[in-house]
Amino acid sequence: MRKIIHCDCDCFYAAIEMRDDPSLAGKPLAVGGRAEQRGVVATCNYEARAFGVHSAMSTARALTLCPHLILLPPDFARYREASRRILAIYRGYTPLVEPLSLDEAYLDVTGVDRCRGSATLMAQEIRARIREEVGITASAGIAPNKFLAKVASDWNKPDGQFVVRPQDVDAFVAALPVKKIFGVGKVTAAKLNRLGVETCGDLRAWSLADLAREFGSFGASLHRLCRGIDERPVRPDRIRKSLSVETTYAADLPDLAACRAALPALIDEFRQRFARTGEPRPVHKAVVKIKFADFSQTTAECVCAAPDEAVWMALLDEGHARRARPVRLLGVGVRFAEGAAQDDGHGQIGLFDDGPACEDSREPDNQTTN
């Protein structure tokens, strides 16, 4: 039986800003891009959340909901410095630390002797040290597996923790809304609800075969997780699957010619980022992502070990032809060849998956201010 802690700092970017400027405390605050540049909210404090503001919301919408919202640009140098200190605290308890973002991680403390071997007491001590040494608060979930620990860490936010004991797993999971299952987004949740499934308990009535018929390969995950079964280990060595950069343009690119003119600068930015990573694994695919003015998006990719500008241009042509509309966002990148180590599908988000980069995924790979 594992003892897993999921630690997650509360509104991390905003917390660092309030720590460094105490005059911001108590005022609605968001960190993100500017509205006139089609920015999005990376994170916001709880005062802003009271107005309905949340991460991944457009800054323009956030300012409509909360006109007196204080908006600050992200300062990743300060966030990374705080992250190093937080991760050092985590690793002082166990070498089995799997970071999910700058401030969030799983810790496997099975067999650790500190705090009399109590994961609950270790979580309390870790949170107290983050408060004292970093100057911000954190929440934690303690459970026998990663899925439940992550759910539990959100149970008593901010500045709290929640324990799911092994004997309580079945009842706890049965009552969970299906939207709490990792991988269930709005579309899947809506489909489940239409099928009469509101909770994990409801979902248990479905056979594995029925779930596979309705949801494909994801059906097997649904079948396991609705029963609280998650055998994934905490993996300190989880590897990156892809690398990209992307830019949201202040004004839509009106046609393919404008997109082609914008692509070289994006490719240059990607090459600089790629060089900094020192990634040793071979490239397997080249990828171009396009988000159109109506927010529909498409991804074009091809097998290519050494993509150059001509390859990305061809993918741009292919992707743009699918909609032939003005474009608000372009991205270029690569997928790496898979080695012996595999990503477990929870934590690192594929860089061309849906959704903007925000605090509770990973530090945005795109360093361009959106």
CA neighbor of 263 nearest in space, from 334, 322, 316, 215: 316
Q: Active-site residue numbers? A: 104
Asked if 115 contacts 93 with a C-beta cutoff of 8 angstroms, the reply is: no
**3 state SS for the chain:** CCCEEEEEECCHHHHHHHHHCHHHCCCCEEEECCHHHCCEEEEECHHHHCCCCCCCCEHHHHHHHCCCCEEECCCHHHHHHHHHHHHHHHHCCCCCEEECCCCEEEEECCCCCHHHHCHHHHHHHHHHHHHHHCCCCEEEEEECCHHHHHHHHCCCCCCCEEECCHHHHHHHHHCCEHHHCCCCCHHHHHHHHHCCCCEHHHHCCCCHHHHHHHHCCHHHHHHHHCCCCCCCCCCCCCCCCEEEEEEEEEEEECCHHHHHHHHHHHHHHHHHHHHHHCCCCCEEEEEEEEEECCCCEEEEEEECCCCCHHHHHHHHHHHHHCCCCCEEEEEEEEEECCCCCCCCCCCCCCCCCCCCCCCCCCCCCCCCCC
Give me 58's structure tokens. Answer: 């457009």
The reply, when asked if residue 154 is annotated as ligand binding, is: no
CA dihedral 63, 65, 68, 74 (to 10 degrees): -50
The reply, when asked if residue 8 is annotated as ligand binding, is: yes
d(CA 176, CA 168): 13
Within 8 A by CB and 6+ apart from 351, the residues are: 241, 242, 243, 244, 331, 333, 365
- Which residues line the annotated binding site? 8, 103
- Which residues line the annotated binding site for Mg(2+)? 8, 103
